[in-house]
Structure 1
């Protein structure tokens, strides 16, 4: 039994270009469609990741803003301001007879 040494890959390529043009076109279209799906999936996952990072940054900034509001409230508290004025600036409340009221017409 003589064995012929034919290259299987060469036979498939010749067959695709001569007889199987429609399957070749369909194979190319399927490959292009699969690559489109991979490309779209990759970009969708990147967008979701960026959105999650933006939400985390928003939450961090929101927490920082709340802390700053609390700090501002604590620093602007009347009793604290009065205590600092008396202690550091040696200020005191004027007597009633020394108060001057200014009225604008």
Structure 2
């Protein structure tokens, strides 16, 4: 058996093609890995923002409840009867008698 003569130019071309294939695939692999890391980072940030949103909505609901209570209390305090009763009971105030009222003319 006679060994075949090797073609050096074919080997060089095969090596160049192999290196291009390896370099191209390495570049694609790096791109896929970077993309995966970006997806993970974005998902993490999204979850953090959603948790912040939930806590802010909870605070909003609490403040709305307090606001409703304050509106009800304001309506009760603005009632004339409530003010009169509070003045009589807490401050011992009374309406002046007719003889105690004096009218001043200019």
TM category (shorter chain) comes to 0.5 to 0.7
Please name the residue that 1:81 is paired with: 83
User: TM-score, normalized by length of structure 1?
Assistant: 0.66
Q: CA offset at residue 18 of structure 1?
A: 8.8
Counterparts of residues 39-78 of structure 1 (less than 5 Å): 39-78=41-80
Say which structure is richer in helix.
2
Runs of 5+ in structure 1 lacking a partner?
Answer: 1-15
Runs of at least 5 residues in structure 2 that lack an aligned partner in the other structure: 1-17
Q: 1:42 to 1:101 in 2, by over 3 A?
A: farther
Moved over 3 A (4+): 16-19, 100-103
Shift of 1:35: 0.8
Aligned length: 89
Question: Which TM-score applies when normalising by structure 2?
Answer: 0.65
Q: What RMSD over aligned residues (CA atoms) do the two structures have, in Å?
A: 2.8
